[in-house]
Amino acid sequence: MTQDKTQEAFASGSVSRAVLRNALPAMAAMLMVMIYNIADTFFIGQTNDDLQVAAVSLATPVFLIFMSLGTLFGIGCPVLRG
């Protein structure tokens, strides 16, 4: 979604609809990352090494936090700039 369309969506339309329109792609991206991490955990689990599985399990939430912060600033900053 371009900056003009995002600003127009928030300026002229319903706020809840505009937020949903911006949030759905971010939620889809996070879902794909979770599926990717589940596949990683499965294949690393085949090694029977508990420490490697624990490392993947601990890194996943940290990665999701970074991804959500990037999405927050990626969607929020262009709207505030307008």
pTM for the full model?
0.60
CA atoms within 13 A on the CB side of 78: 15
Q: What is the mean pLDDT of residues 3-17?
A: 72
* pLDDT for res 1: 53
- Please give the pLDDT value at position 10: 65
The model's pLDDT over 23-59, given as tens digits with 9 standing for 90+, comes to 888 788 888 888 988 898 899 999 999 999 999 888 8
Q: What separation in angstroms does the CA of 6 have from each of 3, 56, 68, 79?
A: 5, 36, 18, 7
Residue 49's pLDDT is: 92
